[in-house]
Amino acid sequence: MFDITAVKIGEKIKKGELSAVDVTVATIDRINALSGHYNEFITLDVQGAVAQAERVQKGIERGEFLSALAGVPFVVKDNICVKGMKMTCASKMLENFVSPYDATVITRLRKAGAIILGKTNMDEFAMGSTGENSYFGATLNPYDERRVAGGSSSGSAVAAALREGFYSLGTDTGGSIRQPCAYCGVTGIKTTYGVVSRYGLVAHASSLEQIGPMAVDAETCAAVLDLICGKDKFDSTTVDYNVEYLNSISNDIKGLKIGVLSESFSDKTDKTLGDNVLKVCDTLKYFGAQAEMFSMPITQYTLPAYYVISSAEASSNLARYDGVRYGLRSNFCNNIEELYVNSRSEGFGDEVKRRILLGTLVLSAGYYDDYYKLALRARETVKKAFEKAFEKYDVILSPTTPKVAPKINSIIKPIDMYFGDAYTVAVNLAGLPAVSFPCGFSDGLPTGAQLIGPAFSDAKLLNIVHQYQQITDYHKKTPECKKEGQV
Amino acid sequence: MKINAEVFEYASKLAKLKFSQADAAKEMENLKDIAVFVEGLKEIPDTLPEQTERREPGAKLREDVSGVPFERETLMENSSDNDGELFIVPQTI
Amino acid sequence: MKWETVIGLEVHVELSTETKMFCSCPAIFGAEPNTLCCPVCMGMPGALPTINAKAVEYAAMAGLALNCAVSPYSRFDRKNYFYPDLPKAYQISQLYHPLCTNGFIEIDVNGNKKKIRIKEIHMEEDAGKLFHSDSGETKIDFNRCGIPLIEIVSEADLSDEEEVTAYLEKLKLTLEYLGVSTCRMQEGALRADINLSVKKKDETELGVRTEMKNMNSFREIRRAVKSESERQISVLENGGVIVQETRRWDEEKGVSVSMRNKENVHDYRYFPEPDLPPIVLESEWIDLVKNKIPALAHERVLKYVELFGVSHADAKIITSQRALADFFENVCTRCENVKMASNLIVTEVVRLLKDDGIQASDMKLSAEKFAQIINLADRGDINVGTAKKIIAVAFSQNIDVPDYIKSNSLEQINDELVILPVAKDVVESNPKSLSDYMSGKKKAYGFLVGQIMEQFGFKANPTKVNECLMKILDEKSGGN
């Protein structure tokens, strides 16, 4: 069953060849067999999932659930609200927090008959690029458990790689969907800003992030987008943009013009990884695409702009965690000041505190003009640079990351961790869509390629990857599991 | 951006965070690295006016029609201290 | 006097929309605590704001009525600080691009007209309510959190408590007539922050200013302005310095008190609200709002004078508060004797409001009840003096008017057969008054009327009393 992907499972359930309950129970069995060895789960709701499956199965038999993914179980990153379920954001601050409402994406998926299995591990409050910044411990890479799974959607990537659920929901602020996808050998997309609602996504950097699917292939991602995209009255930053994704991925890509980002093939990039990505061009040429190297110098400066903007917004977005109405409240508080300082200092991990401090500084009097305001301008420059590039090319190709998954505890300085985001943050700054997909291996570890498109070219990107995945099988590979139970 | 003890303390105070002396020293070093890294912003060529000066499409405004508020019990479920009606915190000036 | 006072006001006004500024929770006053809330106004993880269209309309309307320019492009910003009544730890406000700018209010203080400039009007959200207990706890109700506010910021053009009062009264009047706010100060719908400094008359540089926040009573505002001005002058004259700070107005002691808060200068780290796109207003929309502006006070004055025959002076008094004008119009639909109605409103109701120190919008006496009393007096069931008494009682107590009249025997005495003998009696018991009257002293007549009225507990029909008294006096003069 686990060699079959979400859309086909959905078809079989509709046809009556499989029941939603059987699929859900089998998935739960698989998860239990792997026993969260990679620490990919924070919450598993077995009873709830089975109950959902029973209800949905009955509905399907009555012809009520018509969507492609009705009856198909999935997992959710633990910073997306699921009503009645614990939502920790991998932080001590929200260790026991139960969400009183569903995120819009969850409401839509429930309505479509999707089955929620549980919440996955991540970097605390989505701040991190390795999956090591979790209050509940690091998430391990299923291809090599001495290595990180990537971040911040670490657990979602691992679950997708291990077929624990037929797709995962992740979030991407500066590469947090794409990078763990690359490290774990799965496919994921960060949509154009505003295409997916952020209502119910615990905010890290409001103007940069999107919820998105992570799964075995582009087809599954497209099917999920069909269910979660679209304007939401609860999120004023969503746009009125409707496209049928699943119906758009089988188009001809002849004449596609690919710009290969030369700056991403520097000496900082692993050789094998770089070669694997370049080979993508060869594969795509088979479909009639053309590729050429080009330079976009701006990408070298995007990291500071990203960190200033994201930490500034984060410092404000995380100020609500003060112990007053919910969340951790310190036992040591004689007055309100102590309540604030002690609760926040006890509740937040180091990286979170670091970002809050940085964000607080860049917004404060005396620094605002020199850093935050400058970063906003830099952002405009990045947007313009992409617009110019897309006058010449249809899509831009680069490695998703400069290297394969690093070893656990190998990154000591925060600043070194930030460099891992080099090729992904520019996309968030510009609000553009980007897909990461597996394009080979380097010493047994997955390598990921990234395709970036102009605004609202999400369907087209998935189209390209889907075609690529028709004639390659990197996405079909699964890690050899290290625990009892077969893969 | 100069990071020294004074600046560090100012930011900590504003952000309602406290650090042990050892941690403060460590974080100050980290912040200094990040500050240097962030200076790279000034190297970006040809910066344009900030985004907010552009006339993007305006917000779609919400109709002024009452929705159903959440149950008080639900909203208080996650709170550390309340008397069933009001949230409680220690004395505030 | 070598000193002059310089005052600027920041007035916060709650808009009377159905829902809150950034969520659809009902914007109601007086409900059970924490029953009008949702994840958005409670600042729960993952919640996002959405802009209330009506609030924007009301804010723009207020701006237009106060002679401001409404910006076609405005934006929200976050004001970041920690306080338990602020769930998100930031308030969504407008700093960089407020909705309205450059308006003014014309005030008239004892015949002196002055233009007080309005720097800007911006939109923001209200915070929750704190209750400090003696046991060292603070309790929080978030019902008010998120209610739409406009903040009207004046330039420092005001000079004393008279001007401040005139400005606030005119502001309140305008907003009430627009219908954008109840302006009920007792409910906190209108609050003023007073920024005050003093300087020597010949100096151009402004002095250091202090701030007194959230004042919601006209009487206390007047006292505070006067007191703080005197305090600052006294400090400076004694060689001291004024500290720039927020001070708390102590009603009991009649002084402002330093709040000793080291953090008086806040770093709010304002930055554009990323969850909300800018507000872009077409000029057609702004024109539509302009046309929606209802009849303001001066238009109603004309209406009352021309349609109801009310005197100009009385009309001005009636329209001095929108609730009073509405009350008057409502009463007029329920009774014929508009003249009596307007008269009694201007004399009795206005006096009662003043004595209680409340606004007409807080008045408990209904138009129906008032009209009922007028109709009874008009019909002759009670006399006007009695009507005045009943109005005073009905003002503070919930009485059933006919029952009250009956149980207190307040019915007017109209029967001549009853009045005549009493009149005769009074005249005969007051021979001096009689002779005074005969010799032309008009005052004696009034005295005799008063005596007769007193005999009847002031319930007799004055016209009948006059007739009877005249009869008796004629007899007496004719007779002797």
- Cβ-Cβ contacts under 8 Å, C75 against chain B: 52
Active site residue A384: no
For residue B66, the tally of other CB atoms under 10 A from its CB is: 15
Residues C130 and C226 in one domain: yes
- The answer to whether position C458 is within a domain reads yes
- Cβ-Cβ contacts under 8 Å, C38 against chain B: 67, 69-70, 75
Contact call for C53 and B63, based on CB within 8 A: yes
Instruction: List the single best residue of B1, B2, B31, B41 to mutate versus A (max A Cβ within 10 A).
Output: B41
Q: Which CATH number fits domain B5-43: 1.10.20, 2.40.160, 1.10.3470, 2.60.120?
A: 1.10.20
Q: What are C385's two structure tokens?
A: 């003096």
A202 vs C: CB within 8 A: yes
A266 pLDDT higher than 50: yes
- The answer to whether position A246 is within a domain reads yes
Higher-confidence position of A476 and B55: A476
Q: Which domain holds residue C364?
A: 295-407
- The answer to whether position C290 is within a domain reads no
Q: What is the pLDDT of residues C267-316, one digit of tens each?
A: 999 999 999 999 999 999 999 999 999 888 878 998 999 988 999 999 99
Residues C204 and C130 in one domain: yes
Return the C-alpha torsion angle A265, A271, A272, A277, nearest 10.
Answer: 10
Facing residue for B80 by CB, picked from A323, A353, A373: A323
Q: What are A304's two structure tokens?
A: 């500071």
Give the SS3 label for residue C115: strand
C312 vs B: CB within 8 A: no
Residues C229 and C353 in one domain: no
Residues C154 and C209 in one domain: yes
* DSSP 8-state class, residue A291: E
Facing residue for B50 by CB, picked from A361, A367, A373: A373
Facing residue for C50 by CB, picked from A80, A100, A233: A233
- Cβ-Cβ contacts under 8 Å, B93 against chain C: 259, 261
Instruction: List the single best residue of C16, C28, C34, C279 to mutate versus B (max B Cβ within 10 A).
Output: C34
Three-class SS of C162-198: HHHHHHHHHHHHHHHHHCCCCCCHHHCCEEEEEEEEE
Backbone angles phi, psi at A147, to 5 degrees: -115, 165
Q: What is the pLDDT of residues A276-307, one digit of tens each?
A: 999 999 999 999 999 999 999 877 778 889 99
Residues C277 and C305 in one domain: no
A238 pLDDT higher than 90: yes
Contact call for C132 and B92, based on CB within 8 A: yes
Return the C-alpha torsion angle C325, C328, C333, C335, nearest 10.
Answer: -170
Residue C420: CATH number of its domain: 1.10.10.410
- Confidence band, pLDDT 50/70/90 cuts, at residue A487: very low
Contact call for C138 and B91, based on CB within 8 A: yes
Residues C99 and C40 in one domain: yes
What is the structure's pLDDT at C392?
94
- The answer to whether position C421 is within a domain reads yes
What is the structure's pLDDT at A402?
92
C35 vs B: CB within 8 A: yes
C384 vs B: CB within 8 A: no
| Domain residue ranges in chain B | 5-43
Residue A110: CATH number of its domain: 3.90.1300.10
CA atoms in the 13 A half-sphere facing the CB of A472: 25
Question: How far out from the chain centre does Cα A479 lie?
Answer: 20
Active site residue A152: yes
Q: What is the pLDDT of residues B11-40, one digit of tens each?
A: 999 999 999 999 999 889 888 888 888 888
Sheet containing A187-190: order of strands: A41-44, A115-120, A73-77, A168-172, A210-215, A187-190, A434-442, A445-452, A395-399, A257-261, A290-294
Q: Is residue A76 within 8 Å of residue A106, measured between CB atoms?
A: yes
* C-alpha closest to that of C212 among C244, C190, C178, C189: C244
- Confidence band, pLDDT 50/70/90 cuts, at residue A486: very low
Residues C162 and C182 in one domain: yes
DSSP A55-93: HHHHHHHTT---STTTT-EEEEETTB--TTSB--TT-GG
What is the structure's pLDDT at C261?
61
- The answer to whether position A374 is within a domain reads no
Q: How many residues does chain A have?
A: 487
- Confidence band, pLDDT 50/70/90 cuts, at residue A451: very high
What is the structure's pLDDT at C426?
87
What is the structure's pLDDT at A483?
47
- Confidence band, pLDDT 50/70/90 cuts, at residue A51: very high
Residues of B contacting chain C (CB within 8 angstroms): 14, 16, 52, 55-59, 61-67, 69-70, 72, 75-76, 83, 85-93
Number of domains in chain C: 3
Facing residue for B62 by CB, picked from C52, C84, C259: C52
A365 vs C: CB within 8 A: yes
C235-238 long-range contacts, CB within 8 A, separation 24+: C236/C3, C236/C198, C236/C207
Segments of chain C scoring below 50 in pLDDT: none
Among A152, A168, A197, A398, the active-site one is A152
Contact call for B62 and C138, based on CB within 8 A: no
- Confidence band, pLDDT 50/70/90 cuts, at residue B50: low
Residue B15, Cβ density class (10 Å: 0-12 exposed, 13-18 middle, ≥19 buried): buried
A35 pLDDT higher than 80: no
Facing residue for A325 by CB, picked from C42, C51, C82: C42
Q: Which domain holds residue A162?
A: 6-251+434-476
A414 vs B: CB within 8 A: yes
Active site residue A77: yes
Contact call for A415 and B47, based on CB within 8 A: no
- Cβ-Cβ contacts under 8 Å, C51 against chain A: 236
Residues C323 and C422 in one domain: no
Subunits with 3+ Cβ pairs within 8 Å of C are A, B
- In Å, how far is B27's CA from the nearest CA of chain A? 7
Number of domains in chain A: 1
- In Å, how far is C137's CA from the nearest CA of chain A? 9
Distance from C-alpha of A147 to C-alpha of A158, rounded to nearest angstrom? 12
- Say what percent of chain A tops pLDDT 70: 98
Domain end, chosen from C250, C285, C320, is at: C285
- The answer to whether position A231 is within a domain reads yes
A398 strand-pairing partners: A450
Q: How many residues does chain B have?
A: 93
Mean pLDDT computed over A257-274: 92
Give the SS3 label for residue A116: strand
* C-alpha closest to that of A428 among A154, A141, A216, A212: A212
- The answer to whether position A344 is within a domain reads no
Question: How far out from the chain centre does Cα A17 lie?
Answer: 32
Residues C346 and C265 in one domain: no
